[in-house]
């Protein structure tokens, strides 16, 4: 399981007094329980606080603006200020989550049709695994009753999140992978852990044809062509790939994210370095004579060169026809691809 954060949205005093949201006391108790279980399970608790306009009940630095005292953020728990329903828009939320290696978000709070709806959709678009506490968000009546608004959004948002009762949400932290390599941050380890989860899905797909991996291909040339397309927008991948070499190749979603985030003007050299490392691995990903290759965990190997550190899993699985499928699954670039600005010394 990837690293989890509980996102408590707009759990501010004005939502509970003097004019409480629908089932206000029950919602507050449920948010308290979610926060307590998240802390006990080692999950990060993040508070998102709305900054209202002058005269609004959540105007900054007024009593109604504060996080409800029953929830009392701990000293190490971020409080993120926002000004529109999207908790990610022009806030530091994305950076806080990336720094902690968060890939799974449990979302609860207020209001259902505004900040909950918008943030759930945005989080899913940003590739987070999203869990919505079905009975952990609320609102005020409008054209529909509050209960109808909540039920409607639980149904609609099931297309973007796993929607389940608050008391069924699990915060138990999965053990971190036992990686023996210097210089890896908590975010690196979380990304590697998430990649290992994806590798297991990929192996199941190779073995049985079932499941939906992020990268439903095996030919390493397809990976190479995809990377070339990231720096050359006019590049056209080949229409057909010949029989693959002995080692096939899969890719974790986390592996692609830092590559896609490199500014276009700087991508070519960085991605060419990655392709060169891939070509090296395809010769023998467990080569004991290579000065660049070493095993750093139970399944995890490292290609360590001056300009990049590529984390991967070499593995063999039998498919449903009984054939051996030798594959390299690319997990992560740690500490990331170095981006050189040619205009700086």
* Active-site residue list: 115
Instruction: Provide the Cα torsion 209, 105, 184, 290; round to 10°.
Output: 10
Which contiguous run of DSSP H or E holds residue 37?
Answer: helix 24-40
Query: Closest Cα partner for 68 from 21, 114, 134?
Result: 21
Query: Closest Cα partner for 87 from 63, 56, 121, 136?
Result: 121
Q: 318 pairs with which residues across the strands? A: 324
Q: How far apart are CA 276 and CA 245, in angstroms?
A: 16
Expressed in angstroms, the distance from the first to the final Cα of the chain is 42
DSSP state of 12: B
Instruction: Please give the structure tokens belonging to residue 148.
Output: 């109808």
Query: Closest Cα partner for 102 from 126, 70, 68, 76?
Result: 126
Q: How far apart are CA 49 and CA 56, in angstroms?
A: 14
Q: How far apart are CA 205 and CA 290, in angstroms?
A: 31
Q: How far apart are CA 105 and CA 48, in angstroms?
A: 13
């Amino acid at each position: 399981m990837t690293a989890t954060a509980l996102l408590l949205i707009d759990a501010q005093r004005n939502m509970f007094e003097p004019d409480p949201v629908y089932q206000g006391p029950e919602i507050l108790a449920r948010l308290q329980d979610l926060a307590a279980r998240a802390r006990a399970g080692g999950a990060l608790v993040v508070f998102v606080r709305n900054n209202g306009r002058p005269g609004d009940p959540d105007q900054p630095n007024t009593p109604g603006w504060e996080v409800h005292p029953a929830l009392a953020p701990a000293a190490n728990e971020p409080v993120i200020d926002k000004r529109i329903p999207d908790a990610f828009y022009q806030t530091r939320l994305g950076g806080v989550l990336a720094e902690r290696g968060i890939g799974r978000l449990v979302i609860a709070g207020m209001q259902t049709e505004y900040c909950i709806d918008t943030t759930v959709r945005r989080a899913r678009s940003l590739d987070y695994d999203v869990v919505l506490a079905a009975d952990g968000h609320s609102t005020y009546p409008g054209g529909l009753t509050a209960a109808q608004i909540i039920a409607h959004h639980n149904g609609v948002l099931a297309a973007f999140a796993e929607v389940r009762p608050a008391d069924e949400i699990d915060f138990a932290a999965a053990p971190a992978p036992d990686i023996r390599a210097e210089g890896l941050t908590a975010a690196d380890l979380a990304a590697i852990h998430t990649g290992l989860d994806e590798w297991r899905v990929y192996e199941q797909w190779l073995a049985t044809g079932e499941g939906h991996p992020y990268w439903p291909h095996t030919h390493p040339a397809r990976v190479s062509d995809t990377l070339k397309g990231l720096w050359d927008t006019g590049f056209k991948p080949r229409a057909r790939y010949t029989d693959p070499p002995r080692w096939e190749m899969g890719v974790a979603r986390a592996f692609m994210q830092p590559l896609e985030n490199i500014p276009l003007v700087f991508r070519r050299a960085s991605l060419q370095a990655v392709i060169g490392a891939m070509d090296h691995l395809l010769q023998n990903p467990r080569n004991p004579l290579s000065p660049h290759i070493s095993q750093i965990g139970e399944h995890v190997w490292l290609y360590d060169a001056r300009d990049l550190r590529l984390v991967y899993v070499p593995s063999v699985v039998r498919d449903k026809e009984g054939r051996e499928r030798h594959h390299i699954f690319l997990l992560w670039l740690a500490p990331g691809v170095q981006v050189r600005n040619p205009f700086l010394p």
